[in-house]
Amino acid sequence: MPSPASSNIVLRRNAVLIASLAFMVIGTGSIYFLVVALKLITAEFDWPRVVPSAAYALQYFGGGVGGIFMGYCLDRFGMGIPAALGAVMIGLGAMLTSYVTSPWELYLIYGVMLGFLGRAALFSPLTANITRWFEHNKSMAVGIVGSGQALSGAVWPTVFQYLFETIGWRETAAWYGVFVLATMLPMVLILRMRPPGAEAEAAPIANAKPRRDGPRSLAGMTPRRMQLTLSIASIGCCVAMSLPLAHIVSHVSDIGFEPARGAEVLSVMLTCAALSSFFGVGYLGGRFGGLRAIFVFSSAQALFLASFAFVESLPSVYIAAALFGMGYGGILPCYPVIVREYLPAPEVGRRTGVVILFAGTGMALGSWLGGYVFDHTGSYDMAFLIGAAFNLANLAIIGSLIWQTRIRALSPG
């Protein structure tokens, strides 16, 4: 029979898991707001599409840079500070979006408030934090929390599209901000709880020289080199990832279908991504490790991203979106798993933050690239193919890491 102490730990762990998932779902809505509102905003101000695309990019880039700071706070003080700061900034940033009248205002809100101080508190610290609560089921836990990013996309686009048609995009932004503050701030009280053994795990940072090797090691590869390799790899997959996420709603409209169909396509894509993250990461990551899991997911993403350049019928677009989502959904959650497998545990927050910074840079580049290519060609087809090429570079790097681990496993001693 479990002791009261162990039962309390299980209760707290499950509460943190649920709160992390909900925090991710609600906060990530700020990303999909701009995706659905892209054509409305450009039409109202007569802006080129590169303007909202750049704002979308700044949110990812700012979130990546801020993720290192949030990771440092997580390593030293726990999840409370990142969670509180993120909830306030996303809520206030959304409300201020309703007053935007110029590009620089949109850039400032999305780059600083919703990016550097908002999104930075979501994926990187939440997934790094949950690995400390689940020692034996890290892949499953990270997959569940990471699925919140895709689940958010399955829910918010259709909600935003309905509200845009009912009350307008400005009023929707304001009410979304109010909803964020009312729901995310109470969750901070749960997320601020420290996992068992957190003090002991953090001790090497303050009192001793950190371990130079993680639980596993690669032949001839230091933790710094491993982190740099993962960071570079993340750029390739995230350039590819962000193109449909930022532009699929507009692309569906451009090929002759109603905007509501575009929001539905995005929701289908992200529903499948949520399922892939929720179930696939736990199964593949737990059975084969993070590197092999990410190779499978990234291969599927590359293939079905390229297919967007060739499919034009609505049923085909739905199918391509669903299969793309199955690949995309498992990629980002695999990175915290790999970091936890190969790099020092006391530094998981900041090291995950660095990898996600590069990933965010890739997301920013991809979203900007889509708008730039469209403005010059009148189509997203070339952008989708360029994104697939970036994805192939990611597969080459991940494949080389898998090969090195195989050589390491087969070498004597």
Q: Which residues pair with 221 in a beta bridge?
A: 218
Q: Identify the pLDDT of residue 410.
A: 59
pLDDT confidence tier of residue 319, bands split at 50, 70 and 90: very high
Q: What are the φ and ψ backbone dihedral angles of 329, each rounded to 5 degrees?
A: -60, -25
CB atoms within 10 A of CB 291: 23
What 8-state DSSP symbol labels residue 121?
G
Span 47-60, mean pLDDT?
84
4, part of any domain: no
Residue 24 above 70 pLDDT?
yes
Length, in residues, of the chain: 413
Say how far apart CA 355 and CA 346 lie, in whole Å: 16
298, part of any domain: yes
Residue 207 above 50 pLDDT?
no
Joined together, the tokens standing for residue 118 give 């908002």
Least confident of 12-26, 63-77, 180-194: 63-77
CB atoms within 10 A of CB 59: 30
Q: Identify the pLDDT of residue 166.
A: 93
202, part of any domain: no
Say how far apart CA 277 and CA 294 lie, in whole Å: 11
Q: How far is CA 97 from the centre of its chain?
A: 22
Residue 210 above 50 pLDDT?
no
Which candidate, 81, 113, 71, places its Cα nearest to that of 191? 81
Say how far apart CA 300 and CA 269 lie, in whole Å: 13
Selected residue with higher pLDDT from 7 and 240: 240
Joined together, the tokens standing for residue 33 give 């707001």
Span 155-169, mean pLDDT?
90
Answer positive or negative: Cα dihedral of 165, 378, 265, 51: negative
**Do 338 and 202 form a contact (C-beta atoms < 8 A)?**
no
At a CB cut-off of 8 Å and minimum separation 6, what does 52 contact? Answer: 34, 37, 38, 41, 42, 106, 371
Q: Identify the pLDDT of residue 203.
A: 47
Say how far apart CA 59 and CA 363 lie, in whole Å: 9
What is the pLDDT of the chain when averaged over all its residues? 86
CA dist 194 → 129, 133, 135 (Å): 9, 9, 14
Task: Bin 47: left if φ > 0, else alpha if -120 < ψ < 50, else beta.
Answer: beta
Whole-prediction pTM? 0.74
Q: Which CATH number do you get for residue 128?
A: 1.20.1250.20
1, part of any domain: no
199, part of any domain: no
Span 262-271, mean pLDDT?
86
**Do 356 and 123 form a contact (C-beta atoms < 8 A)?**
yes
Domain that residue 342 falls in: 11-194+214-410
206, part of any domain: no
Which candidate, 331, 355, 332, 333, places its Cα nearest to that of 343? 355
262, part of any domain: yes
* Element housing 210 (H / E): none
275, part of any domain: yes
Give the Cα-Cα-Cα angle 98, 262, 92 (nearest 5 degrees). 20
Q: Percentage of the chain with pLDDT > 70?
A: 91
Which candidate, 97, 98, 107, places its Cα nearest to that of 52? 107
SS3 percent helix, strand, coil of the chain, rounded to 5, is: 85, 0, 15
Give the total number of structural domains in the chain.
1
**Do 39 and 250 form a contact (C-beta atoms < 8 A)?**
yes
Residue for token pair 């850039």: 107
Joined together, the tokens standing for residue 149 give 């990013």
Map residue 221 onto helix, strand or coil: strand
pLDDT confidence tier of residue 322, bands split at 50, 70 and 90: very high
Selected residue with higher pLDDT from 279 and 105: 105
Q: How far is CA 399 from the centre of its chain?
A: 22
Which candidate, 291, 14, 274, places its Cα nearest to that of 146? 274
Q: Which residues pair with 218 in a beta bridge?
A: 221
Q: Which range, 35-49, 84-98, 140-154, 198-212, has the best average confidence (pLDDT)?
A: 84-98
Q: Identify the pLDDT of residue 142.
A: 86
* Element housing 323 (H / E): helix 314-342
